[in-house]
Amino acid sequence: MGDINYVGSVVKILEKPVQTVSTDKIIRTSFRAQLVQVRKIQIAYLVFWGNLARDIINNYQVNDYIMIEGYLSVSNKTNNKLPKRQLKKAQITVLKVYSI
């Protein structure tokens, strides 16, 4: 039986990847991407660590399609403008990337 949170999907890169360096000198890259298999427009935040983060910055750009594998996490955020409304933010920590 596989992990419930492990996901594989084709995504379209929506924005320029942003690279940051942690205090432990580990590179982190993140950006928003659209899941293309879903009928409604679904946005997920992708996070890459280490050498994979460096490869993403060097090899991919906005509007590229990539196939990813990683772990999905969903967090709830409260919308300050609309009381009692919860917004869900999907984040995928990517472990593998394939070019399409």
Number of separate domains in the chain: 1
Is 69 a member of any domain? Answer: yes
pLDDT of 41 higher than 90 = no
Residue 1 domain-assigned (yes or no): no
* CA 7 to centroid of chain Cα atoms: 11
Tell me how far apart the alpha carbons of residues 92 and 6 are, in angstroms, rounded to a whole number: 9
Say whether pLDDT at 77 is over 80: no
* CATH assignment of the domain containing 68: 2.40.50.140
pLDDT higher than 90, residue 40:
no
Report phi then psi at 79, rounded to 5: -85, 120
Confirm whether 22 is domain-assigned.
Answer: yes
Has residue 93 been placed in a domain?
yes
pTM of the prediction? Answer: 0.83
The residues facing 69 across adjacent strands are 8, 96
